[in-house]
Amino acid sequence: MASACPPPSPLVLVVEDEEIVRMVAVEMLEVAGWTALEAADADEAMLLLERRSDIAVLFTDVDMPGSMDGFELATQVASRWPHIRLVLTSGRLRPSNDDVPDSGQFVAKPYRTSQLLEAFRNAG
């Protein structure tokens, strides 16, 4: 009798310029059963998004160096890849979910795994 393969875990792209924060977020997600890709800024994230068709969620910091911040990245993703759910985070800004493009969610830093996963479930 053949054993059934488990379904693939959802893939999330974590975009965070602070390496330690990014590593903690990835670990939280992987422990919760997600698969995570990492990008240090929006430019690196865009390259990954252009090469991959299996990303389900973009989880991005708002405040990042580079050519665009997290809000601009989320806007670009909503326009080009509308199937990707959007979750933004910041330790300084406190926008409402209405400020996040495409029915996305906002999670304030510091966040717990349960808060992050709830935002993923609630993202458009």
Residue 36 structure tokens: 């995570």
Non-local (6+) Cβ contacts of 74 within 8 A are 58, 60, 86, 88, 100, 101, 102, 104
Has this prediction a pTM greater than 0.85? yes
Q: How far apart are CA 22 and CA 8, in angstroms?
A: 22
Which uninterrupted H or E stretch holds 46?
A: helix 42-51
CB-based contacts of 92-101 (< 8 A; 24+ apart in sequence): 92/62, 92/63, 93/62, 93/63, 95/62, 99/71, 100/71, 100/74, 101/71, 101/74, 101/75, 101/77
Q: What is the pLDDT along the chain (124 residues), one digit of tens a residue?
A: 455 555 567 899 999 999 999 999 999 999 999 999 999 999 999 999 999 999 999 999 999 988 999 999 999 999 999 999 999 999 998 888 788 988 899 999 999 999 999 999 898 7
